[in-house]
Structure 1
């Protein structure tokens, strides 16, 4: 079970970090709970592309610790390469430590040895691939694969591509989408993931409902035609949908 122990699913507080994740972060939370992925990870199954990943990631690491490397055709990320010597006027040096928030680096299993970078604050994310030479280059080039499936203006695109200093970083459209998507959708994901964990631990529907809605409300409203039953079935169906492949939709900008 992914949340620690067979009783861990009962504590909703343990899932509150999900409210601060972006789409790719939530996608990982669903994928790591997929029993087929867990089995494939243990045996280093050759069919990695089935999962939308370019490298295996430990399913026992939640989104606060993991650094999953998604297929770049599914989730295009910023690329950072060393600048050309003949044209450095508009090419700032790359300073990893100027990026705000927590940073994670992971070496890609590729001949060029590029690094996968995830920089995260409470509500913002930058994902990038960094050429090793860019870490020590006097100038760097920032670019995004095209077509970029994000409807941003030229100014927004330029801000994202330039990785300005911390106070002026023009964070990606992921931040904007999260705010417009709203808190309600984050709650749906939280409850769906909690329900999936509880079901995997063998909990009954009533036990899951008590964890999500509270024992008092379940005692008062749990009956054959209860709206609580309807909501719980929705959470379970939603969780299964995203866990069994629907998580890929969370990687595609809307």
Structure 2
């Protein structure tokens, strides 16, 4: 059952964004995508159609990097976006073959509570996620929905094998322990900065001024008279923060999916404040 539609978080409330501090980059990227007016309109059109028509609309979802539209109202950790490998290189390709070897058998039922499958052109695209961490597989042949299978992984090259190989290691650890490995899914080092940019974006969408954004997210000095003169550092920080938030919203967030620095060459963003901050002044 899908959760109830969710309203946009109040950008002043740090607690509303706190789950994202433990989210991987594919989840952070979803938070940017679901805020895109173009995506929201496209998803509303597709998901408002009859079932078969909605299935046919999945080609359109590909324009946004997904195999199927996910309702934009659903925030992390409830959302389950299934990213395409062309956008998200941490996708492991495999073939699902019949097996009688129980020791090496993959059974979907074992991860049923965390699994989402999109079928497109006869191929299954599997997402295993707890809403904050994820593993993605593309089944190029066979099906994991028809009982135990033996997965034959497709890895090639040297540099090109590194990301899907990490996904394989994550899958094996999940299979052994029944939970995501903290070692293989470390907390994103820049999560607090990315969340700060997301809050700035939401503030701009809500009509907040740079002074208001600075006062809530950066320093109480911005609430004082002549703050631009008395706190020039805060002024430059909020200017960079706003510029970075606009850049991310314009598509810069896609670099998150590849593990790259989305702000390379943009001048960076100010150091993030702690997750428990001075939001309720």
Q: Give the match for residue 278 of structure 2.
A: none
Q: Give the match for residue 233 of structure 1.
A: 239
Consecutive unaligned residues in structure 1, runs of 5 or more: none
TM-score (normalizing by structure 1):
0.75
Q: Can you list the C-alpha shifts for 1:4-57, whole angstroms capped at 9, x where unaligned?
A: 25x811111111111111111111111111122222323348754432223222
Q: Can you list the C-alpha shifts for 1:46-104, whole angstroms capped at 9, x where unaligned?
A: 7544322232221111131222222222224234543245xx5597221345459x614
The answer (yes or no) to whether the contact 2:34–2:73 under 8 Å persists in 1 is yes
Q: 1:200 to 1:144 in 2, by over 3 A?
A: farther
TM-score (normalizing by structure 2):
0.69
Alignment of 1:223 onto 2:228 = yes
The answer (yes or no) to whether the contact 2:107–2:148 under 8 Å persists in 1 is no
Alignment of 1:70 onto 2:72 = no
Alignment of 1:200 onto 2:198 = no
The answer (yes or no) to whether the contact 2:61–2:69 under 8 Å persists in 1 is yes
Q: 1:68 to 1:151 in 2, by over 3 A?
A: same
The answer (yes or no) to whether the contact 1:94–1:139 under 8 Å persists in 2 is yes
Alignment of 1:55 onto 2:73 = no
Alignment of 1:248 onto 2:254 = yes
Deviation at 1:203, TM superposition (A): 1.2
Consecutive unaligned residues in structure 2, runs of 5 or more: 47-56, 261-281
Taking only aligned residues, the RMSD between alpha carbons, in angstroms, comes to: 3.7
1:165-180 map, 5 Å: 165-167=175-177, 175=185, 178-179=186-187
Secondary structure at 1:10's aligned position in 2? Answer: coil
Distance of 1:121 and 1:67 partners within structure 2: 7
Q: 1:43 to 1:152 in 2, by over 3 A?
A: closer
Distance of 1:198 and 1:234 partners within structure 2: 15
| Alignment partner of 2:22 out of 20, 23, 28 | 20
Q: 1:114 to 1:163 in 2, by over 3 A?
A: farther
Q: Give the match for residue 8 of structure 1.
A: 10
Looking at both structures, which has the greater relative contact order when contacts are Cα pairs under 8 Å and sequence separation is at least 6?
Answer: 1
Q: Give the match for residue 128 of structure 1.
A: 137
Q: 1:145 to 1:72 in 2, by over 3 A?
A: farther
| Alignment partner of 2:96 out of 82, 86, 96 | 82
Distance of 1:129 and 1:158 partners within structure 2: 12
Q: 1:133 to 1:153 in 2, by over 3 A?
A: closer
Question: How many residues are treated as equivalent by the alignment?
Answer: 240
Q: 1:56 to 1:138 in 2, by over 3 A?
A: closer
Q: Give the match for residue 213 of structure 1.
A: 218
The answer (yes or no) to whether the contact 1:79–1:144 under 8 Å persists in 2 is yes
Alignment of 1:188 onto 2:182 = no
